[in-house]
């Protein structure tokens, strides 16, 4: 069984249940929610099926051990969200931290790609 097929089967089950729901006295919100979930799963299944390929022996990936930019991004996102209640000053701090974090993530990504290309 291919991984994409698992997601597709599950999406089809949701779609069947959504169709069954539509045959009952109409509840537009309920049908939209379940139908939307089915559609999103079928889309995900399609993506998984398209991206599927067996691993090749020459494939090499570098795995990060540490990413300090990621917790910084987490703190920044929390500051941005809570800032909506606490005040603009926290939103600005959050935006600054997020900029720093994104820069750090780009730098980490480049280093990771370089490490993956280094000769064995």
Partner 1 sequence: MSVAVASQRLPRFVALAGGTDHKRVGLRVMVMALVFFLAGGVMALVMRTELAQPGLQVVSRGAYNALFTMHGSTMIYLFVTPAALALGVYLVPLQIGAAELAWPRLALLGSWLFLGGGITMYMGFLTNGGPGRAGWTAFDPLSDAANTPGIGMDLWVFGVALATAGEILLAATVLATLLRRRAPGMTMLRLPMFSWTMVVTCLMTVVSFPVLIVAMGLLWVQREFGGVFDSAGGPIAYQHLFWFYGHPVVYVMFFPFVGAVAEVVATFARKRFFGYRALVLSLLAFTAISMSVWAHHMFATGQVPNRYFALTSTALLVPAGIEYFDLLATLWGGSLLLRTPLLFALGFIVQFLIGGLSGIFVASPPLDYHVHDTYTVVAHFHYTLFAGSLFGLFAGFYYWFPKVTGVLLRERLGQAHFWLMAIGANVTFFPMFFLGYDGMQRRIADYSQHPGWGDLNLVSSIGSGVIALSILALLVNIAVSLARRQPAGDDPWEGHTLEWATTSPPPRHNFTTVPPIRSFSPLLDLREARAGSEAPAAAEAT
Q: d(Cα 28, Cα 5) in Å, to the nearest integer?
A: 29
Residues 6+ apart with CB under 8 A from 68: 104
Q: Examine residue 19 and tell whether it contacts partner 1 (CB under 8 A).
A: no
Q: Does 62 bind partner 1 (CB under 8 A)?
A: yes
Q: Which two tokens stand for residue 94?
A: 């959050």
66 near partner 1 (CB under 8 A): yes
Least CB distance to partner 1 at residue 114 (A): 10
Q: Quote the tokens at residue 100.
A: 């720093």
Residue nearer to partner 1 on the CB measure, 63 or 88: 63
Nearby residues of 7 by Cβ (< 8 Å), 6 or more positions away: 41, 44, 45, 48
Q: How many CA atoms lie within 13 A of 70 on its CB side?
A: 6
Which residue, 64 or 92, has its beta carbon nearer to partner 1? Answer: 64
| Residues forming the site for partner 1 (CB under 8 A) | 1-4, 6-7, 9-10, 13-14, 17-18, 20-21, 24-25, 27, 29-30, 33-34, 37, 40-41, 44, 48, 51, 55-57, 59-68, 70-71, 73-75, 77-78, 81-82, 84-85, 105, 108, 115-116, 118, 120
């Amino acid at each position: 069984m291919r991984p994409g097929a698992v997601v597709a089967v599950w999406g089809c089950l949701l779609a069947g249940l959504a169709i069954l729901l539509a045959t009952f006295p109409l509840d537009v919100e309920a049908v939209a929610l379940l139908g939307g979930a089915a559609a999103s799963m079928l889309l995900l299944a399609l993506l998984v099926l398209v991206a599927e390929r067996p691993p090749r022996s020459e494939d090499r990936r570098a795995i990060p051990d540490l990413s300090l930019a990621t917790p910084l991004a987490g703190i920044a996102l929390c500051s941005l969200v809570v800032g909506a209640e606490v005040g603009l000053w926290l939103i600005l701090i959050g935006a600054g931290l997020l900029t720093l974090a994104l820069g750090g993530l780009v730098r980490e990504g480049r280093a990771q790609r370089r490490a993956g290309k280094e000769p064995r």
